[in-house]
Structure 1
Amino acid sequence: MSSTPRRSPRWRWASLLGATALAVTAGGTLAGPATAAGINVDFATHCIPPAISGLPPIDGTTTAKIAVDNTSPKVGDTVNVTYTVVTPAASNPTDIALPADIMTPTGKVALGGAQSGAVTVTGPKKNDPVAGKAPFPSFSMTGSFTVTQPGAITLSPGDYNIHTSYILELDTPCTVTNGPAPTSETVTATTGTPANTRAISLSSASGNPGDSVTVTGSNFTPGATVTLAGRSGATQTADKATATANAQGSFSAALTVSDKTTSGIVAYEGGSWNADTGAGPAAYVVNDNTPIPDGSQKLTTTVKAGTLSMSQAGDAVALSAVDFGKGGASTGALQTVTVKDYRGGPAGWSLTGKVTDFTGPGAKVDAGKLSWSPACATKAGSPSTCKAGSAGAVGLTGATLASTPDAAATGGEFTVDAGLSLDVPAFTPPGSYSGILTLTLS
C-alpha cells in the first residue's frame, strides 16, 4: 500500500486553570499508529472468496506483524496496536482490475499471557490499484486495548477480512487455521503507583488539653481502618484514635488531644505512618492553660495562621510544532505555579498532577505520552525547602510536581516550573485534540 502524506497544522496548546485545573488543547496530529514494531510471523490461513467469484476457498499463508506504542505500560494504560498484513493469503477474486482506495480491512489481534481477549482493529479505505486476480497489497489496521493485569501480555495476529467497494460490495474473510497464530509482540505491564490524593481537615485549629477535635478525611481506601494521631514535628505523640473509611473513602471521627506538645494531626492507613497511605499533618495548637503563679502576669500575643494556596502565571502554553508523518516531541513549558504556605505548624505540602487522554476527531493519544521535567525554587528566608518531583510520565494515575517535607518549622514561598513534552506518534490524522491536566495542592 502507499499513503499520501498530508501537512499537519502546527500544534497549539492552551491551559485553563481554575484553582487547581489546567486544560490543554492541541491542534495537530495525535493518536496515530503504534511505534514499536514486532516481528513478522507466518501462519496458515483459510480465506473464502466472494460467492460471485465462483472460486473455491483458499488455504494459504499469511505473513503479518503486530506493533504497539508502549511495550512497558502500567495497569490502566491504553495501548495502541497496529496489525499489518505484510503478505495476504488472498488475491483479487475477479478478473476486473480494482482501482485505488476501495479496500477497507478489519481484523482481530489475540491477547494472551497475563491478559486474554481480542483487540478489534480497522484500516483506512486506502490501497494501490490491484490488477485482476493479482495478490492483494499489504495493509495495516489499528485499534487499542486497556491493560487490566500486570505481567507479560502476548499479541498475535488474528482473523481478518478484506472488504472491497467497487461495482459490488464484496468481502473476503480470512481465518487463522489451527490458531492462535505465533506471537508477534509482547508488552510487559506493571502495577503502577497512583498519586496519593488523601486529605484531611480539622473542625478546629486549636483547643485546651483534653479537648476533642473532629478529623474529616477523603480519598482513603474504602473500608480501610484509618489511624488518627497527634504529631510533634516528625514524632507521633500519645494522642491517638481510629476511624473506618466508608464506601466513598471518606470518614469523620473525633480525636481527643491531651499532649501539650502536639502541633499537628495526621491520618494514615496501616500500622504506622507512611506518606504514601496517609494525609497531613494538619496544624493544631494545644493551648497552654497552666495556672499563673501569685504575683505574676501572663503576657500573650497571637500569630494568626494563614493558608496554603497556589496561583499560576497564565492560562496558555504554546508547544513546538510537529510534522505529520514524523511526529516526535511537542515541547513547551508549564506556566509558573507559585505556592504560598502561610499555615505554620509542622505540615509540608505536595503538588501533584494527572492528565486525561487527549481526544480529538476520531482519535486520541494516551495520557502516558505526556511527560514533564519539574523544577522548584524556594524564596530566601522560607523555613521549608522545595523539592522538585521526578522527571517522567504524568499519565492518568498522576505524578508529583513538587513538595516540601514535614518539619518542626515549615512555610514560605515557592515557584514551580516544568518542561512539558508530548510524544506524538507519526502518521496521525490532523485535527484539534484536548486533555485536562489537573494540579492538586495538599
Structure 2
Amino acid sequence: MVSPRNSRRRRWAALLGAGALAVTVGGALATPATAASNVDFATRCIPPEIAGLPPIDGTTTAKVTVDNTSPKVGDTVTVTYTVVTAAASNPTVIDLPADIMTPTGKVTLGGAQTGAVTVAGPRKNDPVPGHAAFPSFSMTGTFTVTSPGAITLSPGDYNIHTSYLLELDTVCSVTNPPAPVSETITAADNPPANTRAISLGSASGSPGDPVAFSGSGFTPGATVTVAGRSGSDETGDKTTVTADSTGGISGSLVVNDLTTTGVVAYEGSTWTDDLGTVQAAYVVIDDTPVPDGSQKLTTTVKAGTLSMSQAGDAVAMSAVDFGSGNASTGDLNAVTVKDFRGGPAGWSLTGKVTDFSGPGAKIDAAKLSWSPSCATKAGSPSTCQAGSAGVVGSAGATLASTPDGTVTGGEFTAKAGLSLDVPAFTPPGPYSGVLTLTLT
C-alpha cells in the first residue's frame, strides 16, 4: 500500500518532471548602482531535490532600502530586501495558491562595516500560475551600526520556501558575490554622552541672596555660564566661571528675579542639550515687607499624577478562513494618558502580548504587529510621539511616549491598528491573548 506522503511526493515528482525551472537568462552584470536602486546580478538557483532538475543559472533584479540613511553609531537600522524579479519561477504545471511562499535571505554589508543582515518576509503571495514567474516579494531585518562612515548594502542569497502539498525550498545564490551595491548609508560617529551636571548649596533663598553651586563634566578650561531659569526662559540672574583642569566648576550666583525656578550651566553662547546641564530646582522666597494699606495674595499650584485610561478592555478581531493564512485585523481601544505632574519627566507607554490560546493549539505572540498613532490635546506642553510599527510580541514594544523637557505634561490619545498573522491551517476555533499596557 502506498502511503499518502509517498503519493504526494510522486505527484510532485511527476509535476516537476513535466517542465524545466523557468528563469530569466542573464547577460553581463550591471555596474555598481547608486543609492537605493534596482540592481541585476547573476544567480544560481537549486530546484527542490524532488524535481530532479539541475541547477539553473539566471538573473535576479533586486533592491535594498533602509529606514535611516544617516544613522549614528549605536543606532538600529531596518533593512528591506525586495526581490523585484526572481531568477526562479514556478517549477510545476499546476497553479500555486496564494500565501504559500515564505522568503528568507541575506543582505551583505561593506565599506565601513562588514557582515550580513538576515532578512525574512511574511508568508504572503498572490497565486502563481504554472510555470509563471514568482511574484515580487520583500524581506526585512535589522542591524546595529558599529562603525562611522559609508556602509554599502548589497542583495545576497535568498531562499523561496513553499508550503503546498510538501515543504519545498528553491535556494538562489549570488554567482559572483558580492552583488552590486543597491544602497549606501553614511553613519556618523556618536558623540559622547553629555555628563555635565550642576548642584546647588541650597534649594531656596530670599531675593538678592547668593546661592553656592558646583558642577562637573565640562570641557577643561571652557567658559561656563551659570544662569537662572523661569521654565524654559532664562532670567537676568547670570554669572560666568572657568572650568578647571578636571572639568569642574564652583562659585555663587546672586538670584534677584522672583520668577527664577531653577539654575542651569552651559558652555557656549546659549543653553543646548549637548553642552548644558539639567535644571537644578531653586525657589525664590519673596519676603519683601507688605506696604501699609496693602495685602499680599498667594496661591499654590498642586502637582497631579500620571495616569491612563482605556476605552474598553476587549477587541474583536476579524475572522480568518481555515487554510488561508491571512491576517486577522482590529483596532486597539483608544488609550488616554494624562500627565499632570508638572515636572521635567516625560513618559513611555509600552505593550506586550501573550500567546493566543485556542482549541488544542496556539498562535505565537510574535505574530501580532501594530501600527501606533498618538494625538496631543491642544495646549499640552509636551508633544506625543507614536511608537514604531512592527511586532509587539511577548518582549513588548512602545505604543507612544513623550520626551523629557523643561516643562512637560498634557493629555494624549494613543491608538493602534492590530494585525495577527494567522498561520495557514491553524485549527478552527476562537483564539485569545492578553495585551498588557504599562505606563512609566
TM-score range, shorter chain: 0.5 to 0.7
Matched, 1:416 2:406: no
Normalising by structure 1, what TM-score? 0.53
Matched, 1:160 2:164: no
Q: Equivalents in 2 of 1:100, 1:327: separation in Å?
A: 19
Q: Secondary structure of 2:41's partner?
A: strand
Match of 2:174 in 1: 176
Q: Equivalents in 2 of 1:224, 1:89: separation in Å?
A: 66
Q: 1:326 to 1:151 in 2, by over 3 A?
A: farther
1:433, distance to aligned residue in structure 2 (A): 5.5
Match of 1:143 in 2: 140
Q: Which moved more, 1:268-277 or 1:121-130?
A: 121-130
Q: Equivalents in 2 of 1:223, 1:357: separation in Å?
A: 44
Q: Equivalents in 2 of 1:221, 1:421: separation in Å?
A: 42
The answer to whether the 8 Å contact 2:228/2:255 transfers is no
Q: Which moved more, 1:136-145 or 1:180-189?
A: 180-189
Q: Secondary structure of 1:362's partner?
A: helix
What amino acid sits opposite 1:311 in the alignment?
Answer: T
Aligned counterpart for 1:373 among listed residues 368, 372, 375: 375
Q: Secondary structure of 1:161's partner?
A: strand
Match of 1:388 in 2: 381
Q: Equivalents in 2 of 1:278, 1:172: separation in Å?
A: 58
Aligned counterpart for 1:267 among listed residues 264, 267, 282: 264
Q: Equivalents in 2 of 1:252, 1:100: separation in Å?
A: 67
Matched, 1:352 2:338: no
What amino acid sits opposite 2:60 in the alignment?
Answer: T
Q: Which moved more, 1:94-103 or 1:279-288?
A: 94-103
The answer to whether the 8 Å contact 1:112/1:155 transfers is yes
Superposed CA deviations along residues 368-395 of structure 1, whole A, max 9, x for unmatched, are x644332355xxxxxxxxx634565466
Superposition pairs of residues 243-322 of structure 1, within 5 angstroms: 255-258=251-254, 263=260, 265-276=262-273, 277-280=276-279, 282-285=281-284, 309-312=303-306, 314-316=308-310
The answer to whether the 8 Å contact 1:83/1:121 transfers is no
Match of 1:362 in 2: 366
Q: 1:71 to 1:125 in 2, by over 3 A?
A: same
Q: Equivalents in 2 of 1:192, 1:330: separation in Å?
A: 36
The answer to whether the 8 Å contact 2:64/2:79 transfers is no
Q: 1:306 to 1:161 in 2, by over 3 A?
A: same
Aligned counterpart for 1:332 among listed residues 313, 331, 334: 334
Q: Equivalents in 2 of 1:47, 1:305: separation in Å?
A: 78
The answer to whether the 8 Å contact 2:88/2:134 transfers is no
Q: 1:428 to 1:358 in 2, by over 3 A?
A: farther
Q: 1:179 to 1:221 in 2, by over 3 A?
A: farther
Q: 1:62 to 1:82 in 2, by over 3 A?
A: closer
Q: Equivalents in 2 of 1:221, 1:330: separation in Å?
A: 46
Q: Equivalents in 1 of 2:351, 2:70: separation in Å?
A: 14
Match of 2:226 in 1: 229
Aligned residues: 355
Greater fraction strand: 1
Q: 1:227 to 1:317 in 2, by over 3 A?
A: farther
The answer to whether the 8 Å contact 2:102/2:162 transfers is yes
The answer to whether the 8 Å contact 2:90/2:129 transfers is no
1:89, distance to aligned residue in structure 2 (A): 2.5
Q: Secondary structure of 2:337's partner?
A: coil
What amino acid sits opposite 1:270 in the alignment?
Answer: E
Q: Equivalents in 2 of 1:393, 1:191: separation in Å?
A: 27
Q: Equivalents in 2 of 1:205, 1:336: separation in Å?
A: 29
Structure 1 residue ranges without an equivalent (≥5): 1-37, 290-300, 341-348, 378-386, 405-413
Q: Equivalents in 2 of 1:152, 1:427: separation in Å?
A: 36
What amino acid sits opposite 1:280 in the alignment?
Answer: Q
Q: Equivalents in 1 of 2:148, 2:373: separation in Å?
A: 22
Q: 1:355 to 1:197 in 2, by over 3 A?
A: farther
What amino acid sits opposite 1:229 in the alignment?
Answer: V
Q: Secondary structure of 2:54's partner?
A: coil
Q: Equivalents in 2 of 1:136, 1:224: separation in Å?
A: 68
The answer to whether the 8 Å contact 1:119/1:145 transfers is yes
1:146, distance to aligned residue in structure 2 (A): 4.2
Q: Secondary structure of 2:366's partner?
A: coil
Superposed CA deviations along residues 254-297 of structure 1, whole A, max 9, x for unmatched, are 643456568555233422441533322521448989xxxxxxxx
Q: 1:364 to 1:237 in 2, by over 3 A?
A: farther
Match of 2:60 in 1: 62
1:144, distance to aligned residue in structure 2 (A): 1.9
The answer to whether the 8 Å contact 1:47/1:90 transfers is no
The answer to whether the 8 Å contact 1:161/1:173 transfers is yes
What amino acid sits opposite 2:120 in the alignment?
Answer: T
What amino acid sits opposite 1:175 in the alignment?
Answer: S
Instruction: Give % identity.
Output: 35
What amino acid sits opposite 2:410 in the alignment?
Answer: V
1:44, distance to aligned residue in structure 2 (A): 1.9
Matched, 1:81 2:80: yes
Q: Equivalents in 2 of 1:390, 1:359: separation in Å?
A: 26
Q: 1:203 to 1:363 in 2, by over 3 A?
A: farther
Q: 1:180 to 1:354 in 2, by over 3 A?
A: farther
What amino acid sits opposite 1:417 in the alignment?
Answer: E
